Structure 1
Amino acid sequence: MKAVRRAVLFVLITAVAFTAAADDIGPKEALRLRQAGEILALEKLLDIALSLHPGARLLEAELEEDDGRYVYEVELITRSGAVRDIEIDARDGRILKDEEDD
């Protein structure tokens, strides 16, 4: 299980590194925020997102700053093939949004 989580984290960090949106937080800044205790560990937030939809697989995750709030936008695909968009407050793990992508 640890190997799978490490692989997922590598993919996520790589995906975050190549995003171009102005509000996206890059991997260096995300690490700084985590070390400063301003956001929770990505692994913990992914566990929260995946617990909402057992058996779902991660498609993408991005850390963004939105009006002074750090938010992870997580996209999952469920066992039935539905794509879920989930937003999680990166500071406390609260679910801000969980809806099916159109």
Structure 2
Amino acid sequence: MSPSRRLLALLSVASAVAIPGAMLHAREPGHDDHELARQALERGQVLPLRTVLERVEREYQGQVLKVEFEHDDGHFIYEIRLLQRDDRMVKLKVDAVDGRVLQVKRKEH
């Protein structure tokens, strides 16, 4: 199995437990980034997706619809889209290492 497929499989298993029905994508520009991300997950260098989602759902009160995993400028990022109770869509960029929310974008109804 290629490194990119292994990464997607690892993240898919994590997301299936944490967010049934949500879509998960691994977006990385090249093969080396996939391998780097896979190694980071295996070594515990990034937080498990479940941990990040529990924090985000608690703080932003919404249902996760989509998760993307990226490696941008040397940082691992979870991009999370969720639908809040008031029907607003929120897109969060979360540092995969410490779970810190780096950016919040809201779309009104």
The structure carrying a bigger strand percent of its residues is 2
**Residue from 51, 74, 84 that aligns with 2:58:** 51
Q: TM-score, normalised by structure 1?
A: 0.72
Question: After TM superposition, what 4+ stretches of structure 1 lie above 3 angstroms from structure 2?
Answer: 9-12, 28-32
Residue 37 of structure 1: how far off its partner (Å): 1.7
| Equivalent residues, number | 92
**Residue from 98, 102, 107 that aligns with 1:101:** 107
- Gaps of at least 5 residues in structure 2 are 1-15
Q: TM-score, normalised by structure 2?
A: 0.68
For the 8 Å contact 2:18–2:49, the answer to whether it is kept is no
State the identity %: 25
Residue 8 of structure 1: how far off its partner (Å): 1.7
Corresponding residue SS for 2:19: helix
Corresponding residue SS for 2:25: helix
1-side partners of 2:52 and 2:79: how far apart? 10
- Gaps of at least 5 residues in structure 1 are none
1-side partners of 2:38 and 2:20: how far apart? 12
RMSD: 2.9
